[in-house]
């Protein structure tokens, strides 16, 4: 099974002709956009999906492939439970092997404070019907035979799952296409057309498409796009590195992590490994603009974040990236088709050293491929799923904050229902855009 991303970033799989008009244009061919387009088409909508680069070229192929209810922010939990159910269904519907398996997720606690956090989270899991359990050190050892970690215990969710991102999201796009979605790669949305104070179309690099509804699911580019339409979205991105190893014995069949090591058994026999939650962060204009909103994250991430002075040219928050343009001009979205940052090999090697210490009998894993992705995040690390009050007809679905692959199918289902004004079945108040103005922002992660 070929599970490797990034072999050819310029190849195009989708070049459908664009209609003059449709019901909804979806901007962004990551998991959020693909799933939204799919569920809209299932409702009988005429949908166009515009992707500036390649379907799943950015975060949606570069992630660890964890489909995780465990440790979710309580605000997201019911949606994530739905996503878990949808993955089972979609894995059958795509008609190809996407590496989907229910293999569980495991956290290993390095200290008592972490174990206490797991305990505090458990009631939310119980209420949502998730089968998570706090494990003693002995129970954890049973899950990880042969491991020599100094862990005090763990958190385990057997019903959590995994899939191969690079296989899954392109396969879901093909499913969306079979359901009627028009998909076009190398098709940047440049700006929105508005008449009578509401959306009337999208200017793309391949021409204008008339429509009443637009979904912005542009991942790390969403803030740049929104700002050019006069909408403030406090979104920043961090660089996260990961690697695939050559084939190895199975230490744990699902995803497992402690603060300095995260790994998941891959369908091709290796692991996807990363250094827990360590990131690189580029200082750009938005970093200063939104510093206040991200104070909590900056404080809690000081130890795990490496600050860098400037992003490579063309990145969404690079100093030289233009912030304003006309619909006839080439935009930053076309200048950089695929965000493909260099991985931080220092942190990756540290993760391999840690792996080798914990499983000495496996030897040090050899790297088959290393990569990085820019994770877009919001101040409370949960998404925006909302209509933009400033511009009727625009729905924003972004800020999936490092855990959007797993929840992606439910995001798509919910956003589709938001667009067509059906009942979405979840409380979307925590995901409102106006929370950043009102100051009613939740605490990030498990810090409640």
**Contact residues for ligand FAD, defined by CB under 6 A:** 27-33, 50-53, 57-60, 62-66, 188-189, 217-221, 225, 240, 242, 333, 373, 375, 398, 400, 402-406
Closer to ligand FAD by CB, 113 or 383: give it: 383
Report the candidate in 95, 16, 6, 2 with the shortest Cα–Cα distance to residue 51: 16
Work out how close the CB of 127 gets to ligand FAD at its nearest, in angstroms, rounded to a whole number: 21
Closer to ligand FAD by CB, 152 or 345: give it: 345
The CA radius of gyration of the chain, in Å to the nearest whole number, is 21
- Decide if 276 contacts 263 (C-beta within 8 A): no
Residues 405 and 286: their CA atoms lie apart, in Å, by 25
Work out how close the CB of 336 gets to ligand FAD at its nearest, in angstroms, rounded to a whole number: 9
Closer to ligand FAD by CB, 141 or 170: give it: 170
Residues 341 and 402: their CA atoms lie apart, in Å, by 16
Closer to ligand FAD by CB, 51 or 258: give it: 51
Work out how close the CB of 341 gets to ligand FAD at its nearest, in angstroms, rounded to a whole number: 9
- Decide if 396 contacts 222 (C-beta within 8 A): yes
Residue, CB closest to ligand FAD: 30
First vs last C-alpha separation in the chain: 41
Closer to ligand FAD by CB, 52 or 426: give it: 52
Closer to ligand FAD by CB, 152 or 308: give it: 308
Tokens of 311: 């992003």
Q: Could you write out the DSSP letters of every residue in 214-230?
A: EEE--GGGHHHHHHHTT
Angle between helices 404-419 and 74-93 (to 10 degrees): 90
Closer to ligand FAD by CB, 141 or 228: give it: 228
Work out how close the CB of 138 gets to ligand FAD at its nearest, in angstroms, rounded to a whole number: 28
- Decide if 276 contacts 252 (C-beta within 8 A): no
Work out how close the CB of 109 gets to ligand FAD at its nearest, in angstroms, rounded to a whole number: 19
Residues 282 and 36: their CA atoms lie apart, in Å, by 30
Work out how close the CB of 369 gets to ligand FAD at its nearest, in angstroms, rounded to a whole number: 13
Closer to ligand FAD by CB, 341 or 423: give it: 341
Tokens of 230: 């006069």
Closer to ligand FAD by CB, 81 or 217: give it: 217
Report the candidate in 414, 427, 448 with the shortest Cα–Cα distance to residue 35: 414
Residues 49 and 183: their CA atoms lie apart, in Å, by 5
Residue with tokens 């009578």: 196
Residues 6+ apart with CB under 8 A from 148: 357, 358, 359, 360
Closer to ligand FAD by CB, 62 or 111: give it: 62
Work out how close the CB of 137 gets to ligand FAD at its nearest, in angstroms, rounded to a whole number: 25
Work out how close the CB of 59 gets to ligand FAD at its nearest, in angstroms, rounded to a whole number: 4
Residues 168 and 100: their CA atoms lie apart, in Å, by 8
Closer to ligand FAD by CB, 115 or 238: give it: 238
Work out how close the CB of 204 gets to ligand FAD at its nearest, in angstroms, rounded to a whole number: 7
Report the candidate in 389, 375, 370 with the shortest Cα–Cα distance to residue 438: 389
Work out how close the CB of 399 gets to ligand FAD at its nearest, in angstroms, rounded to a whole number: 8
Residues 435 and 250: their CA atoms lie apart, in Å, by 44
Work out how close the CB of 273 gets to ligand FAD at its nearest, in angstroms, rounded to a whole number: 11
Angle between helices 112-128 and 74-93 (to 10 degrees): 70
Give the other-Cβ count within 10 Å of 188's Cβ.
24
Identify any residues that bridge with 195 across adjacent strands, giving them in sequence order: 198
């Amino acid at each position: 099974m070929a599970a490797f991303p990034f072999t050819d970033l310029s190849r195009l799989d989708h070049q459908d002709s664009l209609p003059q008009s449709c019901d909804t244009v979806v901007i962004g061919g990551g998991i959020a956009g693909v799933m939204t387009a799919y569920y809209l088409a299932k409702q009988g909508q005429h949908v166009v999906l515009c992707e500036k680069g390649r379907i799943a070229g950015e975060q949606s192929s570069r992630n660890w492939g964890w489909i995780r209810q465990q440790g979710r922010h309580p605000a997201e939990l019911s949606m994530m439970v739905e996503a878990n159910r949808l993955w089972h269904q979609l894995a059958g519907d795509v008609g190809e092997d996407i590496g989907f398996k229910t293999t569980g997720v495991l956290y290993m606690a390095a200290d008592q404070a972490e174990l206490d956090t797991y305990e505090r989270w458990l009631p939310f899991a119980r209420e949502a019907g998730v089968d998570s359990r706090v494990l003693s050190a002995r129970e954890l050892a049973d899950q990880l035979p042969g491991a020599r970690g100094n862990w005090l215990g763990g958190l385990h969710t057997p019903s959590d799952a995994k899939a191969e991102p690079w296989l899954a999201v392109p396969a879901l796009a093909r499913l969306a296409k079979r359901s009627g979605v028009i998909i076009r790669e190398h098709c940047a949305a440049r700006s929105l057309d508005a008449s009578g104070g509401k959306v009337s179309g999208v200017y793309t690099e391949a021409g204008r498409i008339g429509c009443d509804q637009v979904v912005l699911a542009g991942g790390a580019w969403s803030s740049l796009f929104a700002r050019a339409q006069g909408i403030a979205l406090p979104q920043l991105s961090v660089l996260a590195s990961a690697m695939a190893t050559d084939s190895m014995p199975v230490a744990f069949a699902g995803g497992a992590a402690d603060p300095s090591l995260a790994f998941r058994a891959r369908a091709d026999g290796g692991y996807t490994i990363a250094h827990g939650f360590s990131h690189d962060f580029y200082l750009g204009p938005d970093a200063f603009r939104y510093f206040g909103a991200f104070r909590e994250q900056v404080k809690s991430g000081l130890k795990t974040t490496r600050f860098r002075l400037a992003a490579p040219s063309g990145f969404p928050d690079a100093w030289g990236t233009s912030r304003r343009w006309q619909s006839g001009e080439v935009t930053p979205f076309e200048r950089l088709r695929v965000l493909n940052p260099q991985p931080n090999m220092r942190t990756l090697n540290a993760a391999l050293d840690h792996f080798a210490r914990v499983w000495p009998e496996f030897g040090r894993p050899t790297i088959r491929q290393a990569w990085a992705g820019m994770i877009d995040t919001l101040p409370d690390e949960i998404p925006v799923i909302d209509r933009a009050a400033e511009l009727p007809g625009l729905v924003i679905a972004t800020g999936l904050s490092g855990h959007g692959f797993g929840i992606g199918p439910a995001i798509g289902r919910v956003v589709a229902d938001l667009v067509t004004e059906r009942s979405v079945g979840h409380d979307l108040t925590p995901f409102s855009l106006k929370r950043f103005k009102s100051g009613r922002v939740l605490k990030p992660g498990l810090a409640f």
